[in-house]
Structures are given as structure tokens and as C-alpha cells.
A and B are shown apart, each in its own frame.
Chain A
């Protein structure tokens, strides 16, 4: 019997070949999207999952009054280990902080993500070199490892595992070190690095003031984490007193310890934001919606075809077939189509994989071993078969033979509402995606075209670790650079406008104290970036006081202190009395999401970091020659860090701020395209079916004298109504969703009307077109042919 059912199924699918392939094709495309997203979700949620103690590792962090941080002092870890037996291991880590060069005789590689760990951390977090990690013998022993790529660069011919000698930093400084070996870096981990050093102990002589380490603990299974957190908190406070730290401040009183599980570190760390997590959820929802739409196509078409199959059901029932057998038969038919769709979906996913990987900056592969897809895919297959098939199977198998066999049986009335609602759902989702896509694009266009208050074009940023905090040290460097033709200005600062955050501190003007940002600059900073002056003047070498105590503030700072005439006022902070010599217009150094912070710019700042970030304004026409000359002369210009000239264009760096939004735009573009495509496919097949069904009615109407246009109108009207309803449902939803998204920007557009109108136009046009193509056939057909049958 199964064989016969199979035969019937195949003949049926064959006969309705067009509809079947549309159905299966749409589902395959949706499945491809779903597979990609699911692989990505699996990847993102399983960081460090390979660690055997995955569930028992926590990072120790501190909750401060304004923020949470994972930075802890090194003695804390040791105290935890000594006091709490439930803590099995404590690992301490420290990040290198700056990029440095590693050179062999042959080549130079750069370590931009240097990590220092103690032996226990290396063990706990599985930072294991290719050969067995030996415990460093003595206190001073440092085991230095390099990632494979760097090692290949430095020693291209290396075959053995023997240690090698390298120079660290500038060759002139001549600091050598021994590389113990290569280490494979697990990109699928929260702890990544390109160079790693392992010591017996880290931060040995540092006290509780050195909050620049990370502390990981591994607890025994079943430990009460909340209680342990409390105990560590108490311990921390006591230790601070013992250590002689100032415990009278509010800052101390409000600081508490938290434990954050390793499994949350990648997506939703306590110290940090959960944006990645939200993106992941949004993506999953998108993928599920697309799959749902494809399933709806299936359901819809299966029900639409019910009339054809009704007779088969009726006959089989009077021949003695149970209902469950029929249900099973129809489910099997749908399962067969779903299997084909899944295989096609896998192929499509494979084709799209490179694009997807590039967009999300991952390197996923379908064919990798121990792929979670292995068990996910059969589950999805069953799920979609069930979702898409259960309703039609129930409807079909439930037909009463006495009704069906009467002859003039019509299913359409029973399932009219369901089918129409399903179509409306499909179009609603499509409208939401189109509208959102258009609004996202409008905001992005706004961000790209809006005046950001400074000009990043033709500004070149040069990587450097040499400190140029003192303008007198920098002046000779500037002069050498300025001699190169095409260079218009040169400056150095503690930061560049690429979205990076500035330091903040309390400053007082006229007795008003406020916490504002500060940035340390050199002469020509504002000129290089083409920032507009609102009042007063820029820094100028002609004024001796500018290197001593002059300050420039931005308009936001002036507003924050309520200054109407800031020039000449004294602003006090960081044990300095600055005199305000200028006010600059606000510029969006941090991008569009956060508002421009009130900021103080000064040349001298005892509280600031070292000025290392060089920026050059170069004439566009002489750009390539100027850069070539710079490169050639760099060792001479920057004596201490001149071995390696590396530069970036500032507009590229600033453009990275838009990356996340551009990613979102791409995702919505794909989602909108997919839903429209799949929904239109469904509509196409559905319209085809409906028209075929109404052939006789159309013929009768034509014989009665209806014009072609009247018939086209008749066939279009119900679909037209559905699209209108779908638009009405989706507009408010799209409005709320995009409004929420826009609210994450400090600088944003008002929601425009056009996207709503466009998505309405697009969906209406597509519908009318799709339906009319089908309807035209019916209209053109000779009524005699349709009436001859029966």
C-alpha cells in the first residue's frame, strides 16, 4: 500500500509540477537562510563550550557606582584561592595594551593582542601550546608563545619545535626574547591573543590599586554561586583595608564583587553590553519568520489543492481506509517535499556561506565535523513537515465521503478564512521588512551625508607607540614631516575621532562642578580635522601660555556650565587652573549613537595618557607620493619607533562606526528580498490555482457577456483587499519597531512617510502583477474549452 501511495504522491507532484517546484523552491531558500542563521546562533552561543569545566568557570568582576568592570587587582585572586576551598583554581590574566613589533632576521610580525597569563589560567582556559605546557620553573621564568601565523611570518622555513630568538619592539632598542613555540589560538573562545606569555605568577608585587587584571575562578560543581559572591565581596572589602587603600570614599562603599559565568561572557557579559545577544535574537526571529512564510505557502497550497484530492479521500474511505492512514499519507507526501527542500536548502546555504561569513566576520562551514546541524536538521525537517503539513493533512483526511462523492464538492468555503489569513500574514511580514529596510537605509544615508562637524577626508592616521606628550619633543618631528611636499598639517593627540571614548574628569567653572570628557592634543589638532571655531581662537604657537594652561572647550561643555561668554574664564580640574581661550563647535567624534560629550581640549594635562596618535592632513593630489616619502623617511623622522610605518585613512576608521548598522541593513535587505520572493512565489502558485479552479466560472461569465477587464478586476479584487489589510496591519508594527531602533541613536531622522507608501506600492504592484499574469490566461482562453468538460 505504501508503494501505491508513493506512486500516487509522485504522480500528483508531477502533475502539479509548477506549483510543486515553487513550493519546494521557496521552502529551500527559506531553509537555507534558516540553516545559516542557526549555524551562526550555534556558533555564537557555544564560545568556550569545548572547555571541560565550561559550567564551573566564572570571571570575577566589580560593580562600581557608574559601571561594571571585569578588571580586578591581582592579589584578590590569591586571597580567593587561600580562603575558599570550593574554588578549585584561580587564573590571572593581563592584556598587553599596545601593539608591538616582533622581529626575526627575516621578517617582522605585530602583536596587537598580547596576553599575559599565569600557569593556572592557561590550564583553566585551555590556552595550551602545541606541545605539553610545562610549569614555569621559577618566579622569573616566562614562556613566550606566538600564534602560528606570526611564527610563519617570522620563520617561514621553520619545521621543528625548537625555541627561537626574536627582537621585541624597535630594533634599535634591541630587547631580545625567546619564543618557546607556537600556540594555536582558539577563535571560538572568549580569550584570544596573538602572542601569549605564561608565568608562574602574575602581578606578584602589585597591590589592590592595580585594577587592570582579569581574574577567572573555577569552582567545584554544585557550588552556591550567590553565597560565594557574597563571601568574596566581604573578603575584598577586608583585604582593601588590610592593604591600606582609602576606604572612606563613596566609591569604595559602593563597589561590590560579582561573579559572571564564562558561558555569558561572549553574548551578555555583566561588564559590557548585550547588543550581540539582541542581534542574535533578532536574527533568529527573522529566520523563523521567513521559514514560517515558506511553511504558510505550503499549507496554503496544500489546502488549495484539497478539492482535487477530496475525491481520492472519499473513495478511499468507502474502500475501507482509516482516517489516520490518510493523515499519514498526506504527511508523508509533505515530508517528501520537505526532504527535497532541505537538501536544496543545504546546497543554497553552501553557496551563500562565503557571503554570510564575510558579513558576520565568522568562518562557518557546513561540512565541519561534529556540526550541530547533524541533529538540528532532522529536527527542523520534522518540525516544518508538522507545521506545514498537519493542518492540510487533518483537513484532507477529515472529508466526509457522503459530501465529497456527491460531485459538486467545494472546499474553498470551509478554508476561505484560513487561507486568506495566511496570505495576509505573509504580506504583513513582507511589508514590515520592506518598511524597516527603507527606514534603516534612510537613517544610514543621513549618517553618511550629515555634517559630522569635522572632516576625516585626506587625514592619515599613523600607528606609533612613541610618546609625544611634550610639545617640545614633538616639534622637531612635526618639522621633519612638514618638509614633505603635500603635507598640510600634523598633530598628535591621545585619541582620534574614530568612536573611541575619551577620559573623563571633574572640572569646575564659577563654582559649578561637572564631570566632562577631556582630550589632550597638540597644535594644529583642530586645523587638521577642519573643526569649526565658535568663539575665541585655536591653540597657537604664538601664545606661550598655550602649552602651559590654555584650554579649548566645545559648545556642549559651555552649555553644561551655563557659560554665555566662556572666553577668559578659568576652568579648574586635575590640579590645574586652565584658561579658556576658545570654543569649538560640537563634532561627532563618537558617531551617531551617543550625543557629543562636553569636552575639554588642552595641550598640557597631568591626568592624561601619553599622546601617541599622529594625524596628518595631506593634499589629495599628492597623497600617494607623500605617503611613499613618509614611509621612506619614517625611521629617520620617528627615531624611537620608526622601524615600521603603518598608516590608516581616518575616514575608513570612522566609517567602521557604521559597520554594525550596515550589517543590519544587509540582513534586512536579505530578509525583505527573501520574504517578498517567497510570498510572491506562494501568491503566484495560489493565484494560478484559484484561476484554474474558476475557469468554468470565468467561461460562464464571458458567455454571459462580461468584458476582459471586468474579469481581471473580479479575480484581482480579493487579493487586492488582502494586501491592503496586510499593509494596515504592518504599518503600526513597522512604525513601533523602527522607532525603537531609531531611539538607539542620539542623532536620528524623523520617521519618514515614504517607506510606508513605497512598501504599499511594492506589495500592491507585485500582487496585481502576479495575479493578472495568471488571470490573463483564463481571460484569453476560449470559453468553449472550459465548458466542454463534465
Chain B
């Protein structure tokens, strides 16, 4: 599904190139649950952003579902966002001015999903995440864990084939974190959704099927569990 070949990323400041990623090559297949680990500053977020097409590599080849991403037009990329990729963020990034239900509904609107279909999918998500009672609350009225659940619900509502999550449990207590990890595992197993997450926690990583160890922009280890 994802094929990276010789991805390089550097920032040049005052003529000095500081490399963030060097010679990153890997293939991630449909249905994998990959955790990216490594010390702070290793380039984990950068790699995930490149995979999510939020950043462009300086060099290298990147194929997403056999399409060359580097030469992709904005229109095509947005199509991929709408239909295939779901993002989950460490800081949740719910839209403050939207209620829980509206946040979940938003991607469906952009995908131009019909009204009744939208309603049923939102209701379905609320049900699944035990949020029915909270659907008219605003994000600021929820706890962190609840917000992250909404974030995941929002990502899932569009029925993506892959979820990219940057430290999804970074702001949460371990109990809540485990709940999220259980959820990811279930989504991966039952719905066949590919998941790539960045995490600092060995425990979280253990939920996945594969770990990429990143150090100073280089993949040091690629462990299959």
C-alpha cells in the first residue's frame, strides 16, 4: 500500500544541511499495524507527515496505492484524504466551534455523502464510541480521552483504508491510552484498516504487528511481532 524508497529530508539553514531523514526505504502493506518509535527529534513525526502527504520529502520516491505521490496534484491528493486517509492527532484537533456530532459529520460533508447516509453513519459512530449522550457538547466540554475518541470517530466516519496517528495517546492517562489501543487493534483486525502510529510507549507498540525504530533519521530496526 505504501512504498517508500530512499526518502531524504533536510532543512538547509545558512548553507548547512541538517538531515531529518536519510535513506528511508520501507514497504507497508494493507492490513498492517505499524508503530514508529524512537527518541525525541528522531524524525518520527516528519516521516508520518510525509506518509500523510502533509510534507514533501527532499528526495526519494513515494508510492501510495501504486500512485506516485510526489507528482500528485492537489486535487488528487485531496481525493486521497477524502477517501483513504484518516488522521488522528496527539492534540486531538477537533474544531472548537463544532459539536461532537458535527465534528464527526464534517468529513462526510466534504466527501459529499448523502444526508440520510450521513445521519446513520454519525449515529453509528456515536453509538460505537458510547457518545450518544454527548453528541451536542462542544469539544471543550469533554475530557481529553473523550476528545481523542471523537477524533478517532471522525477519522473512521469517512471509512478510510488507513489511519495515521501521531502519538494518539500522548496526552492521555494510561487507562485511557489502553482503551484507544484496544480500539485500534480491533479496527485493524476486524475492519482490516491499516494503522500507522507514532508512539513512545513499548506497551502501545506491542498492540501492533510491526515496529520501525528510527534514530537520527535512519531506520535502525524493523521488527515484526
- Measured CB to CB, the residues of A under 8 A from B are 1, 4, 7-8, 11-12, 15, 311-312, 314-323, 400-402, 405-407
Identify which of residues 42-84 in chain B touch chain A, using a CB-to-CB cut-off of 8 Å. Answer: 45, 49, 52, 54-55, 74-75, 78-79, 81-83
Most buried by B among A11, A15, A319, A322: A319
Residues of A within 8 A of B75 (CB): 322
| B177 CB within 8 Å of chain A | no
B55/A8 in contact, CB under 8 A: no
Besides A312-B97, A319-B106, 6 other CB < 8 A contacts? A7-B97, A15-B97, A320-B79, A320-B82, A320-B107, A402-B54
B93/A311 in contact, CB under 8 A: yes
A12/B97 in contact, CB under 8 A: yes
Residues of A within 8 A of B79 (CB): 320
- Taken together as a complex, chains A and B put the C-alpha atoms of A641 and B55 apart, in Å, by 96
Query: How close is B73's CB to chain A, nearest CB, in angstroms?
Result: 11
B95/A8 in contact, CB under 8 A: yes
Residue of A nearest to B90 (CB): A407
- Taken together as a complex, chains A and B put the C-alpha atoms of A317 and B54 apart, in Å, by 10
Say which residue of B55, B93, B102 sits within 8 Å of A4 (CB atoms).
Answer: B102
Residues of A within 8 A of B78 (CB): 320-322
Query: How close is A143's CB to chain B, nearest CB, in angstroms?
Result: 73
Query: How close is A558's CB to chain B, nearest CB, in angstroms?
Result: 81
- Taken together as a complex, chains A and B put the C-alpha atoms of A400 and B111 apart, in Å, by 21
B95/A312 in contact, CB under 8 A: yes
Query: How close is A324's CB to chain B, nearest CB, in angstroms?
Result: 10
Residues of B within 8 A of A314 (CB): 93
Q: When each residue 92-106 of chain B gets 1 if its CB lies under 8 Å from chain A and 0 otherwise, what string results?
A: 011111100010011
- Measured CB to CB, the residues of B under 8 A from A are 45, 49, 52, 54-55, 74-75, 78-79, 81-83, 85, 87, 89-91, 93-98, 102, 105-107, 109-111, 154, 158
Knowing A311-B95, A320-B79, A320-B107, say if A7 contacts B54 (CB, 8 Å).
Answer: no
Knowing A318-B87, A320-B79, say if A405 contacts B93 (CB, 8 Å).
Answer: yes
Query: How close is B159's CB to chain A, nearest CB, in angstroms?
Result: 13
- Taken together as a complex, chains A and B put the C-alpha atoms of A474 and B74 apart, in Å, by 96
Residues of A within 8 A of B83 (CB): 320
Query: How close is B79's CB to chain A, nearest CB, in angstroms?
Result: 7
B89/A320 in contact, CB under 8 A: no
A interface majority secondary structure: helix
- Taken together as a complex, chains A and B put the C-alpha atoms of A72 and B151 apart, in Å, by 86
Residues of A within 8 A of B97 (CB): 7-8, 11-12, 15, 312
Residue of B nearest to A404 (CB): B93
Residues of A within 8 A of B82 (CB): 319-320
Knowing A15-B97, A402-B54, A402-B55, say if A7 contacts B102 (CB, 8 Å).
Answer: yes
- Sample of 22 A–B contacts (CB below 8 Å): A1-B109, A4-B102, A4-B109, A7-B102, A15-B97, A311-B93, A312-B95, A315-B93, A315-B94, A316-B95, A316-B106, A318-B54, A319-B82, A319-B158, A320-B79, A320-B83, A321-B78, A322-B78, A323-B74, A402-B54, A402-B55, A405-B91
Residue of A nearest to B79 (CB): A320
- Taken together as a complex, chains A and B put the C-alpha atoms of A405 and B88 apart, in Å, by 11
Query: How close is A304's CB to chain B, nearest CB, in angstroms?
Result: 17
Most buried by B among A316, A318, A401: A318
Residues of B within 8 A of A316 (CB): 95, 106, 110
Residue of B nearest to A325 (CB): B110
Residues of B within 8 A of A321 (CB): 78, 110
Residues of A within 8 A of B96 (CB): 311-312
Say which residue of B49, B74, B102, B107 sits within 8 Å of A319 (CB atoms).
Answer: B107
B95/A320 in contact, CB under 8 A: no
Residue of A nearest to B46 (CB): A402
Residues of B within 8 A of A315 (CB): 93-95
Residue of A nearest to B151 (CB): A315
Query: How close is B53's CB to chain A, nearest CB, in angstroms?
Result: 9
B106/A4 in contact, CB under 8 A: yes
Residue of B nearest to A8 (CB): B97
A407/B91 in contact, CB under 8 A: yes
Residues of B within 8 A of A405 (CB): 54, 89, 91, 93
Residues of A within 8 A of B98 (CB): 4, 7-8
Kindly list the 9 A-B residue pairs having the minimum CB-CB distance in the complex, ordered from nearest: A320-B82, A402-B54, A320-B81, A1-B109, A11-B97, A319-B107, A8-B97, A320-B110, A318-B87
Residues of A within 8 A of B90 (CB): 407
Residues of B within 8 A of A402 (CB): 49, 54-55
Query: How close is A789's CB to chain B, nearest CB, in angstroms?
Result: 10
Query: How close is A408's CB to chain B, nearest CB, in angstroms?
Result: 10
Residues of B within 8 A of A318 (CB): 52, 54, 81, 85, 87
- Taken together as a complex, chains A and B put the C-alpha atoms of A320 and B158 apart, in Å, by 10
Query: How close is B149's CB to chain A, nearest CB, in angstroms?
Result: 16
Query: How close is A377's CB to chain B, nearest CB, in angstroms?
Result: 31
Say which residue of A8, A11, A12, A320 sits within 8 Å of B111 (CB atoms).
Answer: A320
Most buried by B among A317, A322, A405, A407: A405
- Taken together as a complex, chains A and B put the C-alpha atoms of A8 and B49 apart, in Å, by 28
- Taken together as a complex, chains A and B put the C-alpha atoms of A405 and B109 apart, in Å, by 21
A319/B81 in contact, CB under 8 A: yes
Query: How close is B45's CB to chain A, nearest CB, in angstroms?
Result: 8
- Taken together as a complex, chains A and B put the C-alpha atoms of A405 and B94 apart, in Å, by 11
Residue of A nearest to B82 (CB): A320
- Taken together as a complex, chains A and B put the C-alpha atoms of A401 and B56 apart, in Å, by 12
Most buried by A among B89, B95, B105, B154: B95
- Taken together as a complex, chains A and B put the C-alpha atoms of A15 and B111 apart, in Å, by 29
- Taken together as a complex, chains A and B put the C-alpha atoms of A319 and B158 apart, in Å, by 9
Query: How close is A2's CB to chain B, nearest CB, in angstroms?
Result: 9
- Taken together as a complex, chains A and B put the C-alpha atoms of A207 and B87 apart, in Å, by 95
Residues of A within 8 A of B49 (CB): 402
Residue of B nearest to A10 (CB): B97
Residue of B nearest to A407 (CB): B91
- Taken together as a complex, chains A and B put the C-alpha atoms of A316 and B93 apart, in Å, by 10
Residues of B within 8 A of A7 (CB): 97-98, 102
Residues of B within 8 A of A401 (CB): 54
Residues of B within 8 A of A317 (CB): 81
- Taken together as a complex, chains A and B put the C-alpha atoms of A321 and B78 apart, in Å, by 7
Query: How close is A332's CB to chain B, nearest CB, in angstroms?
Result: 15
Residue of A nearest to B105 (CB): A4
- Taken together as a complex, chains A and B put the C-alpha atoms of A189 and B83 apart, in Å, by 68
Query: How close is A311's CB to chain B, nearest CB, in angstroms?
Result: 6
Query: How close is A338's CB to chain B, nearest CB, in angstroms?
Result: 20
Most buried by A among B52, B87, B154: B87
Knowing A8-B95, A8-B98, A311-B93, say if A1 contacts B54 (CB, 8 Å).
Answer: no
Residues of B within 8 A of A15 (CB): 97
- Taken together as a complex, chains A and B put the C-alpha atoms of A400 and B52 apart, in Å, by 13
Query: How close is B10's CB to chain A, nearest CB, in angstroms?
Result: 16
Query: How close is A330's CB to chain B, nearest CB, in angstroms?
Result: 13
Residues of B within 8 A of A8 (CB): 95, 97-98
Residues of B within 8 A of A311 (CB): 93, 95-96
Residue of A nearest to B83 (CB): A320
Query: How close is A780's CB to chain B, nearest CB, in angstroms?
Result: 24
Residues of A within 8 A of B52 (CB): 318
Residues of A within 8 A of B54 (CB): 318, 400-402, 405
- Taken together as a complex, chains A and B put the C-alpha atoms of A319 and B160 apart, in Å, by 11
Residue of A nearest to B56 (CB): A402
Residues of A within 8 A of B154 (CB): 319
